[in-house]
């Protein structure tokens, strides 16, 4: 079925790289468990306090450690064996998840304990995520990175679709302890996958190559790890990782317009047009159905991302990746604006029952937004991985996780404020259109980004 093979997701990375295959399966299973915990923590905080604000404060306790340690975690990834960094951070995440389960079974009933554990979990994630992301270019060839990132998008989006629904179901039937305990079990898959990785020591930076080769014996890569164009792994080196390492990464980013632009356009999309904060009001005031409608709309976004990943076969053949990112984010903005237009059409009437037509139209708009975001994410990650030398990948992955986590949080503030001024419908319309205008203004100052060539990656 050659035509079908060209449309469906390219699974070549899973076939040719056993370490990547194990990592993909392990992270996919553990991501599902992580979503159970995200839902269970929110529900438990609400059950203890009866306050939506208290649930919102969870986001602050998660975001602050992530931003504070994201950059430093990336510096650690560049300085030490990535397998060891990821393994230690994964163990920390597993222990914290176990403590969440323990407090539930012991019925501790303390919101402060939950806030503290979420902060610890976020701190470990700030180190673990850059490590995992920086590992992937060492497991697959550069030409396969778009396909590998599309596969990652599929597994994450499936977890984002199924996890919240399953988490709420488990909590409703058996309580918080069961949900957390299942996460503990599922997270063992990630531990196993990282444990089975070969050693992935840091790669010599160009300025260090001559002096290091004079002092250290040559070591090649493991047989099942793909070679890296930036150089071969060096012998283990003792390094002190401090603020200067983080500053070096930021200075490098300041001189690399294409990589920097991937961050800027994503921030524009997330800050100006991220609609999650609008969904609860949509379920009550516009479409009806309350919490159920909010859940369906959230799932629609994730389903769109899953479908984009499943039918991503053509993405591995895209050459002008910067141009595709530009149009994908444009499609994102149009989809969010279309979502707002649906709300304008149905009106804020506080319907007593679900408006099926309005719900279907809103789901289609959000599914298109999810698909557009998934395509953009695949190529933003690919440019970051291929146009960045290996000795800087960890630090820039740290910046990436700060942008990915911080952008939507800021977006909730922006669209939440606009909704209070103009209403939810006009907030979505204005946000989507503003996103398009700002992204193309950014691209006008960075014309090289639109000519970014995957065959000749330039940072």
More confident residue, 100 or 4: 100
Residue 158's region, left for phi above 0, alpha for psi from -120 to 50, else beta, is alpha
Rounded mean pLDDT of 418-437? 91
Which tokens belong to 220? 């090649």
Which long-range contacts link 59-62 to residues 24+ away (Cβ below 8 Å)? 59/409, 61/115, 61/116, 61/118, 61/119, 61/122, 62/118, 62/119, 62/121, 62/122, 62/405
Greatest mean pLDDT among 125-129, 187-191, 252-256: 187-191
Indicate the angle between helix axes 52-79 and 111-135, nearest 10 degrees: 30
387-406 burial code (b ≥16 CB/10 A, e <16): bbbbbbbbbbbbbbbbbbbb
CA distance 376 to 366: 15
| Model pLDDT, residue 204 | 54
The first and second tokens of residue 354, run together, are 């679900």
Query: Is 416's pLDDT higher than 50?
Result: yes
Q: Report whether 71 contacts 129 (CB < 8 A).
A: no
- pTM of the complete model beyond 0.85: no
Residue labelled with tokens 């990589």:
259
Residue with tokens 């950059």: 71
pLDDT band at 367 (very low <50, low <70, confident <90, very high): very high
For the chain, what is the mean pLDDT?
81
Mean per-residue pLDDT, 340-346: 94
**What average pLDDT score do residues 272-276 get?**
87
290-296 mean pLDDT: 75
Q: What is the per-residue pLDDT for 128?
A: 86
| Contact present, 457 and 379 (Cβ < 8 Å) | no
Structure token digits, residue 314: 């053509």
Most confident of 52-66, 134-148, 437-451: 437-451
Chain centroid to Cα 347, Å, comes to 33
Question: By the 8 A CB rule, do 268 and 438 touch?
Answer: yes
User: Which uninterrupted H or E stretch holds 259?
Assistant: helix 257-273
Q: How far is Cα 193 from Cα 188, in angstroms, rounded to an integer? A: 9
pLDDT of residue 203: 67
DSSP state of 255: T
* pLDDT(447) > 70: yes
Q: Among candidates 438, 449, 435, which has minimal Cα distance to 269?
A: 435
Query: What is d(CA 365, CA 346) in angstroms, rounded to the nearest whole number?
Result: 14
Q: What is the pLDDT of residues 124-171, one digit of tens each?
A: 988 888 888 888 888 888 888 888 888 888 888 888 778 777 877 788
Q: Are 220 and 232 in contact (CB under 8 A)?
A: yes
CA–CA distance, 71 with 148 (Å, rounded to integer): 24
Separation CA 252–CA 207 (nearest Å): 14
Give the residue from 10, 26, 385, 392 showing the smallest Cα distance to 226: 385
Mean per-residue pLDDT for 260-287?
A: 86
Query: Are 202 and 134 contacting, i.e. CB atoms less than 8 angstroms apart?
Result: no
Environment class of residue 208 by beta-carbon count within 10 Å: exposed (0-12), middle (13-18) or buried (19+)?
middle
3-state secondary structure of 233: strand
pLDDT in tens, 83-111: 898 899 999 999 999 999 999 999 898 99
Helix (H, G, I), strand (E, B) or coil at 352: coil
C-alpha to C-alpha distance for 199 and 180, rounded to whole angstroms: 31
The residue ranking higher by pLDDT, 445 or 402, is: 445
* pLDDT at residue 240, as a whole number: 54
Predicted confidence at residue 380, as pLDDT, reads 87
CA 343 to chain centre: 28
What percent of the chain is predicted at pLDDT more than 70?
87
**272: nearest Cα among 201, 316, 337:** 337
Q: Which residue matches tokens 């099926």?
A: 356
Q: Which of 3-12, 201-210, 260-269, 314-323 has the lowest mean pLDDT?
A: 201-210
Average of per-residue pLDDT across 253-277: 86
CB contact at 8 A, 386 and 142: yes
Is residue 223 predicted with pLDDT exceeding 50? no
CA angle 297, 300, 305 (to 5 degrees): 140
**Beta-carbon contacts of residue 437 (< 8 Å; ≥ 6 apart):** none
Cα–Cα–Cα angle for 14, 142, 135, rounded to 5 degrees: 65
Residue 206 burial class via C-beta count within 10 angstroms: exposed 0-12, middle 13-18, buried 19 and up: exposed
Comparing 51-60, 134-143, 400-409, 450-459, which segment has the lowest mean pLDDT? Answer: 51-60
């Amino acid at each position: 079925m050659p035509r079908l093979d060209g449309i469906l997701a390219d699974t070549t990375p899973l076939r040719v790289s056993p370490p990547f295959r194990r990592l993909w399966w392990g992270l996919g299973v553990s991501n599902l468990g992580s979503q159970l915990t995200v839902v269970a923590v929110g529900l438990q905080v609400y059950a203890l306090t009866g306050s939506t604000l208290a649930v919102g404060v969870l986001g602050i306790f998660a975001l602050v450690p992530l931003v504070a340690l994201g950059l430093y975690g990336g510096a650690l990834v560049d300085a030490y064996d990535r397998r060891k960094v990821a393994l230690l951070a994964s163990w920390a995440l597993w222990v914290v998840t176990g403590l969440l389960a323990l407090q539930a079974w012991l019925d501790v009933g303390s919101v402060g304990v939950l806030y503290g554990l979420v902060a610890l979990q976020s701190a470990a994630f700030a180190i673990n995520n850059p490590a995992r992301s920086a590992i992937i270019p060492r497991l697959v060839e550069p030409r396969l990175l778009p396909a590998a990132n599309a596969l990652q998008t599929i597994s994450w989006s499936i977890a984002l679709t199924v996890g919240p629904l399953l988490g709420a179901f488990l909590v409703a039937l058996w309580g918080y302890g069961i949900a957390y305990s299942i996460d503990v079990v599922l997270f063992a898959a990630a531990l196993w996958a990282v444990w089975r990785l070969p050693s992935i020591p840091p790669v010599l930076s160009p300025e260090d190559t001559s002096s290091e080769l004079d002092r250290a014996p040559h070591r090649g890569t493991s047989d099942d790890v793909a070679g890296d164009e930036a150089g071969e792994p060096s012998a283990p080196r003792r390094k002190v990782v401090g603020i200067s390492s983080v500053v070096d990464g930021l200075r490098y980013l300041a001189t690399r317009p294409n990589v920097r632009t991937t961050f800027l356009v994503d921030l524009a999309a997330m800050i100006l047009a991220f609609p999650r904060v609008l969904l609860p009001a949509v379920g009550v005031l516009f479409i009806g159905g309350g919490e159920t409608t909010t859940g369906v709309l959230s799932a629609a976004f994730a389903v769109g991302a899953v479908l984009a990943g499943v039918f991503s076969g053509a993405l591995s053949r895209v050459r002008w990746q910067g141009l595709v990112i530009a149009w994908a984010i444009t499609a994102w903005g149009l989809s969010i604006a279309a979502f707002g237009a649906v709300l304008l059409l149905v009106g804020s009437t506080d319907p007593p029952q679900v408006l099926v037509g309005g719900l279907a139209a809103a789901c289609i708009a959000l599914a298109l937004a999810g698909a557009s975001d998934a395509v953009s994410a695949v190529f933003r990650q690919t440019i970051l991985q291929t146009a960045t030398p290996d000795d800087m990948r960890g630090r820039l992955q740290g910046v990436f996780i700060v942008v990915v986590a911080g952008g939507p949080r800021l977006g909730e503030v922006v669209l939440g404020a606009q909704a209070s001024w103009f209403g939810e419908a006009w907030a979505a319309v204005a946000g989507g259109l503003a996103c398009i205008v700002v992204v193309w203004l950014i691209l006008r100052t960075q014309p090289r980004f639109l000519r970014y060539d995957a065959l000749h990656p330039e940072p």
